[in-house]
Amino acid sequence: MSAICEVPGGNIAVAETPMLRWVLAYADDALILGHRLSEWCSRAPSMEEDMALANLGLDLLGQARFLYSHAATLENAAQPALERSEDDYAYRRDAPQFRNALLVEQPNGDFAATMVRHMLYASFADLYWRASLAVSDPAIAAFAARSEKEIAYHERHAADWVIRLGDGTAESRRRAQSALDGLLAFADELFETEADQLPLMAAGAIIDPARLRDAYRHRIEQICARATLSLAWPRWHQSGGRQGRHGEHLGHLLAELQFLPRAYPGASW
């Protein structure tokens, strides 16, 4: 398959099957959001929150590692000579090869923006991994069980903060509302169905996120009501991340994340 010749230490050329694309999409979501959370280190509004943000980041990075290893297993099974590892996917792909939703690459902004972004992601991920308990591959189902347990806490933590900020002071309310207004257009991309994955969905190998959209909207509406924030679902949504069409921010994030392996190709750490 991989007709493109890979330069040692350079970009890898992933032969994307529908299954591999699915694995990479969710792995990339977890890596990019985990990386964003790690950017908060020693900058959080309180020491308790510094620990909490590091923790949320750790969960996501751990989930990304599982999924990248799974991707490597799939690719190596098709072409053992590739000898793919988890790090190849994180460090040796350029922005257009990343499949994450645009939501997770949005900059941290202020604490309100980080918590609103996290609520929008975690409410989705909680529903998605719970639904994925039923997928046919027992390894993925077990991963989903573990992730759901972790993400349920993420959702609660983010929702608690969105409620506190929305129903806190005038300033926190203004910041939370502004974050919500700005980020809501990124939510719907999480529910896009990729046409070539339909057979996998029909076979029960993966879950179609589209079927979770109503439940998701209901959850977000409930949180925003408790936060006394006004919520108006936009009639349009931002899209393109799953196809590798990203915003300007991802390139900078990757330049930082990938710096060492790019500067010292072939070295092991």
Partner 1 sequence: MVNETTAQETAWAIASALPDPEIPALTIAELGILRSVELMEGVITVSITPTYSGCPATEMIKGDIETALRDAGFSAVAVRLIHSPAWTTDTLSAATLEKLRAEGIAPPHRGQAPHCPLCGSSAVEQIAAFGSTPCKSLWRCITCREPFDHFKCH
Partner 2 sequence: MYAQALDQTDTRPAQGDDPARLAAFQARIDAEQKIEPNHWMPEAYRRTLIRQIAQHAHSEIIGMQPEGNWITRAPSLRRKVALLAKVQDECGHGLYLYAAAETLGVSRAALVDQLLAGTAKYSSIFNYPTLSWADIGAIGWLVDGAAIMNQIPLCRCSYGPYARAMIRVCKEESFHQRQGYEIICSLAGGTPEQRAMAQDALNRWWWPCLMMFGPPDTESQHSDQSTRWKIKRFSNDELRQTFIDATVPQAHRLGLTLPDPDLHLDQATGHWRYGAIDWAEFRAVLRGEGPCNRDRLARRNAAHAEGEWVREAASAYAAKQNQRKAA
Q: Is 175 helix (H, G, I), strand (E, B) or coil?
A: helix
Q: Helical H runs in the chain?
A: 18-38, 47-78, 86-91, 102-105, 111-131, 138-166, 170-183, 198-202, 213-226, 248-257, 259-263
- Per-position x/- string for 101-130, each x denoting binding to partner 1 as judged by CB under 8 A, each - no binding: ------------------------------
Comparison of 209 and 261: residue with beta carbon closer to partner 2: 261
- Per-position x/- string for 19-48, each x denoting binding to partner 1 as judged by CB under 8 A, each - no binding: ----------------------------xx
Residue linked to tokens 């007709």:
3
Confirm or reject binding of residue 268 to partner 1 (CB under 8 A). Answer: no
Q: Is the CB of residue 79 less than 8 Å from the CB of residue 15?
A: yes
Of 204, 234, 240, 205, which is closest to residue 220 (Cα–Cα)?
A: 234
Only segment of 117-125, 145-153, 185-193, 234-242 that touches partner 1 (CB under 8 A): 145-153
Judged by beta carbon distances under 5 to 8 A according to partner kind, the member of partner 2, partner 1, none in contact with residue 90 is partner 2
Residues at the interface with partner 2 (CB under 8 A): 31, 35, 38-39, 41-51, 54-55, 57-58, 61-62, 64-65, 68, 86-87, 90-91, 110-111, 163-165, 167-169, 171-172, 175, 256-257, 259-261, 264, 266-269
Q: Is 256 helix (H, G, I), strand (E, B) or coil?
A: helix
Comparison of 146 and 213: residue with beta carbon closer to partner 1: 146
Among 2, 146, 178, 208, binds partner 1 (CB under 8 A): 146
Confirm or reject binding of residue 60 to partner 1 (CB under 8 A). Answer: yes
Confirm or reject binding of residue 164 to partner 1 (CB under 8 A). Answer: no
Among 142, 198, 255, 260, binds partner 1 (CB under 8 A): 142
Separation CA 137–CA 185 (nearest Å): 33
3-state secondary structure 197-243: HHHHHHCCCCCCHHHHHHHHHHHHHHHHHHCCCCCCCCCCCCCCHHH
User: Cβ of residue 61: shortest distance to partner 1, in angstroms?
Assistant: 5
User: Cβ of residue 247: shortest distance to partner 2, in angstroms?
Assistant: 18
User: Cβ of residue 29: shortest distance to partner 2, in angstroms?
Assistant: 15
* Centroid of chain to Cα 182: 18
Separation CA 222–CA 218 (nearest Å): 6
Among 61, 74, 152, 185, binds partner 1 (CB under 8 A): 61
